[in-house]
Structure 1
Amino acid sequence: MHNLTTVDSVHEEGSYLFTADGPHGDPEEVILVPCEDGVEAWINRCTHEAQRFDTGRGVPMRDDQLICPRHGSLFDACEGDCDNGEAAGTTLPSVDISETHGDVYLTDDDYAFAHEGGIDDDDGPSSTSHLQL
Structure 2
Amino acid sequence: MTVRTRVADVSDVPETGSYLFTVRERGGNEEEVILVCCEDEEGPIQAWKNFCQHETDQRLDRGVGNGAVMRDGGVVCPKHGSVFDSCSGYCDNGKAAGSTLVEVDVEVEDGGVYLTDDGLTYRHDGGIEDDDDDMPSSSSHLSF
Computed over aligned residues only, the root mean square deviation of the Cα atoms, in angstroms, reads 1.9
Establish whether residue 18 from structure 1 lines up as the match of residue 21 from structure 2: yes
Structure 2: distance between partners of 1:110 and 1:29: 14
Q: Is the 8 A contact 2:105 2:117 kept in 1?
A: yes
| Residue segments in structure 1 that go unaligned for 5+ positions in a row | 127-133
Radius of gyration: which is bigger?
Answer: 2
| Residue segments in structure 2 that go unaligned for 5+ positions in a row | 137-144
Query: 2:49 maps to which residue?
Result: 43
Q: Is the 8 A contact 2:47 2:106 kept in 1?
A: yes
Q: Is the 8 A contact 2:16 2:69 kept in 1?
A: no
Structure 1: distance between partners of 2:95 and 2:20: 24
Structure 1: distance between partners of 2:33 and 2:72: 21
- TM-score relative to the length of structure 1: 0.90
> Structure 1 103/13 Cα, relative in aligned 2: closer, same or farther at 3 Å?
farther
- The partner residue of 2:35 within 32, 36, 39 is 32
> Structure 1 28/16 Cα, relative in aligned 2: closer, same or farther at 3 Å?
same
Secondary structure of 2:122 counterpart: strand
Structure 1: distance between partners of 2:35 and 2:113: 9
Query: 1:131 maps to which residue?
Result: none
Structure 2: distance between partners of 1:114 and 1:8: 20
CA deviations over 1:97-119 (Å, ceiling 9, x no partner): 00111110000000000111000
Count of aligned pairs between the two proteins: 128
Query: 1:55 maps to which residue?
Result: 62
> Structure 1 55/11 Cα, relative in aligned 2: closer, same or farther at 3 Å?
closer
Establish whether residue 125 from structure 1 lines up as the match of residue 135 from structure 2: yes
- TM-score relative to the length of structure 2: 0.83
Secondary structure of 1:53 counterpart: coil
Query: 2:86 maps to which residue?
Result: 77
